[in-house]
Structure 1
Amino acid sequence: MIELQERNSHIYQVKDAKTPSELHPAVEEGKKHLVNQAAEQGIDMIITDALRTKQEQEALYAQGRSTEGRIVTYASGGESYHNYGLAIDFALRLDNGEVIWDRSHDGNENGQSDWMEVVEIAKGLGFEWGGDWQSFKDYPHLQMDFGLSIHELQRGMRPKPKALAEE
């Protein structure tokens, strides 16, 4: 039986917690609003990554280290908000179906970067943007951490499921 110990109104402790098997409901809802609101502004954006297993995270972490490719993450398995269903990554999709990570592209031709328009929508929905980080900039990364550190998540702290207030 899972025992819950109340920490505060939106956080709880799960003993013997397994990592989640799906996105947190607020992140899932935020993701849907993000895609829809971007589309309303003429931006075709896609979610390129969401929940990752620890094994998938380890494989990404190995990239540019023990396997070929460039380094794309500094988080090993269990050290990413993706591992706890609290993060998504995005990209832009062109009319021809090509997926791009071009932060200056203005496909809706309104004089603003589509990338930054998506970021602003995401921030309005409660996401934190990896491009705002002081150290490693992770431009496709969006997360809702609910004030929880990776260390707290590793110890079994979890945000309670709740609806996203923003419509």
Structure 2
Amino acid sequence: MTFRFSKRSEHNLQGVHPDLMAVVRKALALTTVDFMVTEGVRTKERQQELVKRGASQTMNSLHLPQADGYAHAVDLAAWVGGVRWDWPLYHKIAEAMQLAAAELGIPIEWGGDWTSFKDGPHFQLPRGYRA
């Protein structure tokens, strides 16, 4: 099955590091679960709002533009007849993201692997990443 990003997903990829963008695009070609990009670059105000709501735990988010000017994180949402938050779907998306990253030789981290704050939709380049 072949999936394509919507205009909204394409817009949400603007300002994301090109290497992470390449992984996301490759993963869409490999995945068995369609997904959309819900967030890439965030403003400090947006990040503050998410911390206040408990949806994020840090103001040091890789969604904020880094020293190279790019966001180093994206949030993805499973799309199965609409947005779905079923945890098993995110494991499948993570498999596609990890396979794409391996094929492209680009390291990524998945928020679903975190121990203290599991974040299934979140993928990022390692902190301090340089191409």
TM-score of the superposed pair, with normalisation by structure 1: 0.58
1:132 to 110, 113, 119: 113
The answer to whether the 8 A contact 2:90-2:120 is kept is: no
Paired amino acid for 1:100: R
Matched residue count: 107
Matched, 1:28 2:12: no
Unaligned stretches of 5+ residues in structure 1 = 1-20, 64-70, 105-113, 149-157, 161-167
Aligned to 1:121: 96
String of CA shifts for 1:68-127, please: whole Å, max 9, x gaps: xxx211012xx10111311111111123xx2111113xxxxxxxxx32121112122132
| Cα distance, 1:27 vs structure 2 | 0.9
Matched, 1:159 2:122: no
Aligned to 1:143: 124
Counterpart CA distance in 1 for 2:36 and 2:50 is 20
Seq. identity, %: 29
Counterpart CA distance in 2 for 1:131 and 1:52 is 20
Aligned to 2:47: 57
Counterpart CA distance in 1 for 2:50 and 2:75 is 14
- Please list every run of at least 4 consecutive aligned residues from structure 1 whose deviation after the TM superposition is greater than 2 angstroms: none
Counterpart CA distance in 2 for 1:55 and 1:122 is 28
Unaligned stretches of 5+ residues in structure 2 = 1-13, 66-70, 102-106
Counterpart CA distance in 2 for 1:61 and 1:100 is 23
SS of the equivalent of 1:83 reads coil
Counterpart CA distance in 2 for 1:51 and 1:123 is 21
Aligned to 1:164: none
Question: Which of these two proteins has the greater Rg computed from alpha carbons?
Answer: 1
SS of the equivalent of 2:63 reads helix
Matched, 1:83 2:64: yes
TM-score of the superposed pair, with normalisation by structure 2: 0.72
Counterpart CA distance in 2 for 1:34 and 1:72 is 25
Matched, 1:92 2:73: no
Would you tell me which structure has more helix in proportion to its own residues?
2
The answer to whether the 8 A contact 2:28-2:96 is kept is: no
Compute the RMSD of aligned alpha carbons.
1.8
